[in-house]
Amino acid sequence: MGLGVVGGVEQPVGPVDTVMSLRPSFTGGTEVAVPPLGSLELSSHHAPLRLRVDVDRLDPERAGALVDRPERLAGLDEEVARDVRSGATALVLRSSAAAAGGAAALALAVYRRPRRALLAGGLALALMAGSGLAARATWNPTSVLEPKFSGLLSSAPNVVGNARSIVSDFDAYQQELASLVTNVTKLYEAASSLPAYSPDPTTLRVLHVSDIHLNPAAWEIVRSMVDQYGIDVIVDTGDLMDHGTKAENGFTESIGTLGAPYVWVRGNHDSEETQKAVARQKNAHVVDDGKVVTVEGLRIAGIGDPQFTPDRSVVPAGDPAERRAGRELAASIRAEKALGRPVDIAVAHNPVAAAETAGTVPLALAGHTHRRDTSVLEGGTRLFVQGSTGGGGLRAVEDEVPQEVQASVLYLDRDSHQLQAWDDITLGGLGLSTAEVSRHLPPEGLEDGKSGAEPSGAPGADGTPGPSGASPEPSGGAGTGRQEED
C-alpha cells in the first residue's frame, strides 16, 4: 500500500524523461513501457519486486543537442548508465521508506499500539531488504539481449533486428553520423569546380530529399546543404517516419530550423497524424489531394500516398491504387492549366503515381524505392526518383550493404522555371566515408519541353552506371566532383 501511494521516482535518462517504480510481484523482472508503442519485458531478476520504467516523454532540448552534435553519442551509454544508477538508488531509498511507513501506519490504525506499528514497519523494511538481496543474487544483465515485446513494439525485432546485432552495430553507426556531417561540408567546394555549367546567382535552387525514415542525422545534412548551396526550396517526397505513430511526431520539430521553405508530401510510412504534425511546423507546406502551393514563385502540386503500410502487418493495395492517385493529381494539374495557372512541379511519394502526370508538368519528383533514377516520360516530363536521404533510417544498420545517403539539387531559371542542371549528391553509408557530387545537364531539345530519348539513371557512388545500366552522363555533358576518405 505504501509503494502504491508514494508512487515512483522521476528520473531523466539520456534524452528521455522516465518514471521508475517498484511493485510487489510473484515473478520479478523489469517492464519498460513506451506509450503508445507498447512495452518490453526483461527477465532481469527473480524476486518479489518488479521494476517498472515508464518512458514519459522525449526532451526536445536534450534530444536536439544530440542531433546537433552527433559526436556526443560516443558518451551516451555512460551517461545513461549513470542516470539509471542514480534513479535506482533514489527509488530504493524512497520505496523502502514508503513500505516501512505504510506498514507502520496501517498497524497503528489497526492495533493502536506504537510498538506493534514499529514492529510492522521493521518487518516491511526487512522484507524490502530481503527482496533487494534476492534481486541482486539473481541479477541477469544479459536479459537486455532477449527482451519480450508487446504492442506496436512487437514488430521491433523484424524492423531493426535482434538486440545483439544492434548493440554491436550501433557503435559503428553513431561514429558514421559525425562522419556524414563532416563529409557534406566538402560538397560545395567539389561542386564549384564542375565544368559546363555555372549557376547564376539568381538561379532557383531546389533541394530534393526523400525517405528520411526517422534518421536524426538527416536534419543536419539537410541544413548543411541548404547553407552551402543557397537552397531556396526543399521538396521532401515522403516517408519522413517509420511507423507514422503519434510518438514519432516530435521528429518534425526540426523542420522550422532547416533555413528554407519545406514542401512535403505523405509517404506510405507517414500517417494522417504525421501530416498534421508537419503542417504545424514553421515554413512547412503540405501538398495533398492535388493542392497547389506557390513557394518562391514555383507552383507545386502533390498528392499523398493512398497506402499506409508502416509494417508487414498491412497488406499493400499495390500499383492500381497508386495509379488512381496519380491520375487524380494529373487531373488537378490540367484543371489549373485550363485556368491559366500552370504547375511547375508535381510531387508524389511513389514513382508509379508520379509517372501518371506525364505531359502535364515539366518536372515530377518521387521517392519510395531508395534508389535514385532519372528518366524522361512521354510529353517531355522529367521524372526524378530520389534515393533515401536518411540512408534507409536506423534499420539500415542491419543491411549487409549500407544504403547511401542521397539528395539532389535542381537548378531552375527564376523566370521561366526551366531546368538548367542538377547535382546528384551521394554520401557513403555505414562504414563508408565518401562524398560525391555528379553534375548533369539536360540534353539539347528538352529545354523547351519537347520529348526525346535519353539514358535513364545516374552514376553510383563508385562511378558505375545507374540502376538502368545507362551511360553515367546524359548527352548534354556533365562533370563529376568527388571527395573521399578511406
Residue with cell 544508477: 85
- Count CB neighbours of 67 within 10 A: 19
Categorise residue 214: left if φ over 0, alpha if ψ from -120 to 50, beta otherwise: left
Task: Enumerate residues 6+ apart whose C-beta is below 8 A from 302.
Answer: 263, 265, 287, 288, 290, 291, 329, 346, 347, 348
Element at 215 (helix H, strand E): none
Categorise residue 160: left if φ over 0, alpha if ψ from -120 to 50, beta otherwise: alpha
pLDDT of residue 168: 52
For the chain, the C-alpha Rg in angstroms (whole number) is: 28
Q: Is the pTM of this model over 0.85?
A: no
pLDDT of residue 456: 35
What is the amino acid identity at position 268? N
Measured at the alpha carbon of residue 438, what is the angle toward residues 436 and 443, in degrees to the nearest 5?
Answer: 175
| Rounded distance between C-alpha atoms, residue 149 and residue 312, angstroms | 16
Which DSSP state fits 159? H
pLDDT of residue 319: 87
Task: Enumerate residues 6+ apart whose C-beta is below 8 A from 261.
Answer: 232, 233, 234, 283, 285, 295, 296
pLDDT of residue 24: 87
pLDDT of residue 200: 76
pLDDT of residue 176: 53
**Which parts of the chain register pLDDT below 70?**
36-37, 60, 63-77, 145, 151-198, 312-315, 394-402, 428-434, 444-486
pLDDT of residue 366: 97
pLDDT of residue 348: 97
pLDDT of residue 457: 36
- The sign of the dihedral angle between the CA atoms of 461, 466, 470, 476 is negative
pLDDT of residue 450: 39
Where do the domains of the chain lie, and which CATH numbers do they carry? Answer: 2-158 (no CATH), 195-484 (3.60.21.10)
Residue with cell 523542420: 255
